[in-house]
Amino acid sequence: MLDLLLNKRIQQRPTYTRVSQYVTAKIRHGMTWVPPQTPVVHGDGLYEFFGHREMVQKPASIVTVLSWQKDTPPTYEIDIGAAQGVEVGAIYAVYSACPRASLRGQGENETAFLARICITEKRMFRSTGKLLEGNATGIKKGDFAVIEAWALPPPTPIVRLLPAARSPDVRAELERALKGTLLLNLPNQDPVNCKFTVSVSKADIEIRNGRNIRLNRIPKIAADDPERSNKAAHILEHLARFHSTL
């Protein structure tokens, strides 16, 4: 932590989140002889460390160099995976975790751009990528990757409403709630094959699987709830995101 804070080339103090990420990376990659540890930094993650100014930053993930040989393209690992919505083909920009002598031409900024990485393989909580643009030797363990371009998930799960004929108002509400999402598809006609079924009755709204079997641990929504459609859409969106990771 002191290495980061005492670096005179930093133009502004890092945020609490950046300090925590930096220390985590150092522990993970520099102290392999001790059990894995997760530091706890008390303070608002959006504010500068020991300061009062709020700093807007994009969510960043830590990069690890998996392999780098002269005759083969380098590969990298990012500590974010399918559980966070990563798909093969997504592009991440890599920024330095701290200033380096080679970055002085970029204003000695701790977040100087280094390279771009394209995701080639995803796992539940980790992803592997290849260099798309930039200098391979400039990326070090503990640098940060920020999403630049999302890769769309596989074909969107189809949602079926039952019984749609007796609940036109609920269907219209759900269509409005689901409009604009990339994870769900609510066709105009009842589909033959679907991933999720929304069963509507006078008492409640129930979300089931494509075979019309109730999903475990998914709560029912009261039919008279003014936020019924938004709640159903929210649950369906999370289910669709989880489905895309399987």
Instruction: Return the bridge partners of 61, or none.
Output: 145
Bridge partner list, 158: 185
Which among 76, 84, 86 has a CA at the least distance from the CA of 133?
Answer: 76
Q: Do the beta carbons of residue 117 and residue 41 sit within 8 Å?
A: no
Statement: 2-149 belongs to CATH 2.40.30: yes
Q: What is the pLDDT at residue 79?
A: 87
In 3D space, the residue among 240, 139, 138, 111 whose CA is nearest the CA of residue 181 turns out to be 240
Domain spans of the chain, in order of start: 2-149, 159-244
CA 56 to each of CA 20, 42, 91: distance values in angstroms, whole numbers, following the listed order: 16, 18, 21
> What are 80-90's pLDDT values in tens digits?
888 888 888 89
Ordered mean pLDDT values, 10 residues apiece, the chain (246 residues): 71 78 75 70 79 71 74 84 86 77 42 86 91 84 83 69 71 78 68 82 88 90 89 86 64
43 Cβ contact list (under 8 Å, min separation 6) = 16, 49
Does residue 142 contact residue 63 with C-beta atoms inside 8 Å? Answer: yes
Beta carbons within 8 Å of 10's beta carbon, 6+ residues apart: 4, 98, 99, 108, 110
